[in-house]
Chains A and B, each alone.
Chain A
Amino acid sequence: MKRNDGPSVIVRMSACVLAIPAFTFGLFVIAHGHLTPGGGFAGGAVAATLVALILAAGGRKAAGGISNGVLSVMEAVGLMAFALLGLLGLGTTFFWNFLANSGSLFGAQVPFGINPGDINTAGVLPLMNFAVGFEVFAALSLVMVVMFRYGEEGQ
């Protein structure tokens, strides 16, 4: 199967310019999940754009460089951290928000109504957002990498 050397310089350059801002925006959406629209799922999907752009620009070589073993472990760790955070609330009920309004990590009080928002609030919700974002990022990246490799090597 004869192929060109890869995508054109326009595609590669655009991917280089867009990849890091897109990933940063994904992290921003995950970190502010309890204050602004978005959250773990949306932010993880946005962050996975990084891998999509790398695959689009780098082609076969880039796909070989991404370790799907690491992605697989990241995915499992994210889901387990999420379930563990749910289990930690078992003193009251499953998924009880034991950190909210406690004064410790992410435990600040929130006034009722419209307020500017404080990142140090919402108890376990930011931690859960991070766990889910981690998992979604790893799972989507894993699916893309594996499908890409199959398409390149397959038939």
Chain B
Amino acid sequence: MAARYLKALTLALFLVVMLGGAAMLSPFGSPKGTIMDDYYIANGQDQTGSNNIVTSVVFDYRGMDTLGEGTVLFAAATGVLLLLGRGFNEKE
């Protein structure tokens, strides 16, 4: 019985934190800090030569994150091979 109350308490706490966080967000369309956005929009085309600002952020300004993303995918494929890849090197 205690476990059930603990679960309900955890769920309530989770909801309070998440909904409270959502309520504290700045209103839609008027973000608080726009320094980085303005910098990317003003200099992205000039510095990276890319018309697509998203690509210039993903592959240039934040290239390190994309490297991590690629590594995650690599690790996922490796994990699938390890778990399910029986006879990986055998010919059928």
Which residues does A use to contact B, with CB under 8 Å? Answer: 33-37, 39-41, 64, 68-69, 72, 75-76, 78-79, 82-83, 86, 94-95, 97, 100-101, 106-113, 115, 117, 121-125, 128-129, 132, 135-136, 139, 142-143, 146-147, 149-150, 153-154
One of B63, B74, B81, B92 near A86 (C-beta < 8 A): B63
User: Number of A-B pairs whose CB atoms are under 8 Å?
Assistant: 130
Residues of B within 8 A of A36 (CB): 52
* Size category, B interface: 20 to 34
Decide if B55 touches A139 in the complex (CB within 8 Å): no
Instruction: State the CA gap A97–B55 with chains docked (Å).
Output: 13
Instruction: State the CA gap A73–B86 with chains docked (Å).
Output: 18
- Judged by a CB distance under 8 angstroms, whether B18 is at the interface is no
Instruction: State the CA gap A128–B81 with chains docked (Å).
Output: 26
